[in-house]
């Protein structure tokens, strides 16, 4: 679903270092790659507003402001690339182009206890659970459907009013064809009720077909992730953190084949600084255990949350665990939170699971 106008080879022609992340990311405007996944849509709509629209004061972030998305995730890159490439993002909602600014109080949580020694064993169990899944294998013509609840927190300056605010928890629905060239997005308060198209001429990094071609040997996979993240990450982001976030983005709003998903967890276990967290809560309040890593540059810890019994992936969040100079966020602030509520295979774009095509 990458909508970049630049030519990219067919997956069968990719070299080992091309298939994981789209090279066109370098063509994005400065700073675009540091945005929240959930805030990317708001910025896109700002770009698409007409000159007669009522201007909205820009969101100003502290410096440095290294967000969770140190690499553009598949969906965020798709949307940004569509704007940069001048391609149309079309939808039928009457409020298409309008954005909802965060005004609520900052989300906070109790910071869970991190255990570095327990991470390898927990990730091994999670990998085994992922490999033993009984989910169906999709076939060509079908779509990956993912529904989630998301919210984010950021520092906002609006005239004399400066404060840390959070979005209202809202729904997000994404459809993606297996080749990543067709899809649809509906996000409450940001895309209009009918959503927008994600159609493109080239596949995205998170497309099922792209993920299916990744190596399943954890060492080979991790080497590839490091090479790609080194090529695309912000210079201020530590390379181990970039690799960890890259894996997380490939595991969340996507549908990796079981063997690839299992390999990604085993690869994550080899990244220095990865820890287990005894208790974490997803966006809908479900408690679980987490695999996490702290970014020392901004004091924020990215947490992948799993059910304590089944080890099923529930969602992820980013929590401030250390106060950093120049940051407006207090310890315990949740800067991003999500919960996967449905991950299914459907027969048509915009089809809801259980609905006849």
Tell me: the pLDDT tens digits for 6-17? 333 322 322 333
Partners of residue 152 on adjacent β-strands: 336
Residue 210 has pLDDT above 70, yes or no: yes
pLDDT of residue 170: 94
Nearest to 294 by CA among 256, 248, 357, 240: 240
User: CA 131, CA 223: separation in Å to the nearest integer?
Assistant: 21
pLDDT of residue 43: 39
At 326, the pLDDT band (50, 70, 90 cuts) reads confident
Least confident of 88-97, 137-146, 226-235, 278-287: 88-97
Other C-beta atoms closer than 10 Å to the C-beta of 355 total 10
At 196, the pLDDT band (50, 70, 90 cuts) reads very high
pLDDT of residue 355: 80
Partners of residue 340 on adjacent β-strands: 148
At 29, the pLDDT band (50, 70, 90 cuts) reads very low
Do residues 184 and 175 touch, judged by C-beta distance below 8 A?
yes
pLDDT of residue 2: 37
What token pair was written down for 154?
């950021």
Partners of residue 114 on adjacent β-strands: 277
User: CA 256, CA 248: separation in Å to the nearest integer?
Assistant: 12
pLDDT of residue 223: 97
The gap between the terminal CA atoms of the chain, to the nearest Å, is 22
Residue 30 has pLDDT above 70, yes or no: no
At 189, the pLDDT band (50, 70, 90 cuts) reads confident
The residue with tokens 């570095």 is 116
pLDDT digits (tens, 9 = 90+) for 35-62: 333 334 333 333 333 333 333 333 333 2
Nearest to 36 by CA among 264, 281, 318: 318
What token pair was written down for 194?
């009918």
User: CA 195, CA 191: separation in Å to the nearest integer?
Assistant: 5
At 328, the pLDDT band (50, 70, 90 cuts) reads confident
Q: Encode 85-115: b = buried (16+ Cβ within 10 Å), e = exposed.
A: bebebebeeeebbbbeebeeebbbbebbebe
pLDDT above 70 covers a percentage of the chain that reads: 71
User: CA 132, CA 62: separation in Å to the nearest integer?
Assistant: 44
pLDDT digits (tens, 9 = 90+) for 178-187: 999 999 999 9
User: CA 176, CA 142: separation in Å to the nearest integer?
Assistant: 9
Nearest to 164 by CA among 60, 303, 294: 60
- H or E segment at 79? helix 74-84
Per-chain mean pLDDT for the chain: 76
pLDDT above 90 covers a percentage of the chain that reads: 54
Contacts 24+ apart (CB under 8 A), 10-16: 11/203, 11/209, 11/210, 11/213, 14/213, 16/224, 16/227
Least confident of 81-85, 153-157, 252-256, 325-329: 81-85
Q: Encode 174-193: b = buried (16+ Cβ within 10 Å), e = exposed.
A: bbbbbbbbbbbbbbbbbbbe
pLDDT digits (tens, 9 = 90+) for 114-163: 999 999 999 999 999 999 877 789 999 999 999 999 999 988 887 777 88
pLDDT of residue 154: 84
Q: What is the mean pLDDT of residues 326-347?
A: 94
- Number of residues written out for the chain: 357
Residue 274 has pLDDT above 50, yes or no: yes
Do residues 314 and 133 touch, judged by C-beta distance below 8 A?
no
Residue 31 has pLDDT above 80, yes or no: no
């Amino acid at each position: 679903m990458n909508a970049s106008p630049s030519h990219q080879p067919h997956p069968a022609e990719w070299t080992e270092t091309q298939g994981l992340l789209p090279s066109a990311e370098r063509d994005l405007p400065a700073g675009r790659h540091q945005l929240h996944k959930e805030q990317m849509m708001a910025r896109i709509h700002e770009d698409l507003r007409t000159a007669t629209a009522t201007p909205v004061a820009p969101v100003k972030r502290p410096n440095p402001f290294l967000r969770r998305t140190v690499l553009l995730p598949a969906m965020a890159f798709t949307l940004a690339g569509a704007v940069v490439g001048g391609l149309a993002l079309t939808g039928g909602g009457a409020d298409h182009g309008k954005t909802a600014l965060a005004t609520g109080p900052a989300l906070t949580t109790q910071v869970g206890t991190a255990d570095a020694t327990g991470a390898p064993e927990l990730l091994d169990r999670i990998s085994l659970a992922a490999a033993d899944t009984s989910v169906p294998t999709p076939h060509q013509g079908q779509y990956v459907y993912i529904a989630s609840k998301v919210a984010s927190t950021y520092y906002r300056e609006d005239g004399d009013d400066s404060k840390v605010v959070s979005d209202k928890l809202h729904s997000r629905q994404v459809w993606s064809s297996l080749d990543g060239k067709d899809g649809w997005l509906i996000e409450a308060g940001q895309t209009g009720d009918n959503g927008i198209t994600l159609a493109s001429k080239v596949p995205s990094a998170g497309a099922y077909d792209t993920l299916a071609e990744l190596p399943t040997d954890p060492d080979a996979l991790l080497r590839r992730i490091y090479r790609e993240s080194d090529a695309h990450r912000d210079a201020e982001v530590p390379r181990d953190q970039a690799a960890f976030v890259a894996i997380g983005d490939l595991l969340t709003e996507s549908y990796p084949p079981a063997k690839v998903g299992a390999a990604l967890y085993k690869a994550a276990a080899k990244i220095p600084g990865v820890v287990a967290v005894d208790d974490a809560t997803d966006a809908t309040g479900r408690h679980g255990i987490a695999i996490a890593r702290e970014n020392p540059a901004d004091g924020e810890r990215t947490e992948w949350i799993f059910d304590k019994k089944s080890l099923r992936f529930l969602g992820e969040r980013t929590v401030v665990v250390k106060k950093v100079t120049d940051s407006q966020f207090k310890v315990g602030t949740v800067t991003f939170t999500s919960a996967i509520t449905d991950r299914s295979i459907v027969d048509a774009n915009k089809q809801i699971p259980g609905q006849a095509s």
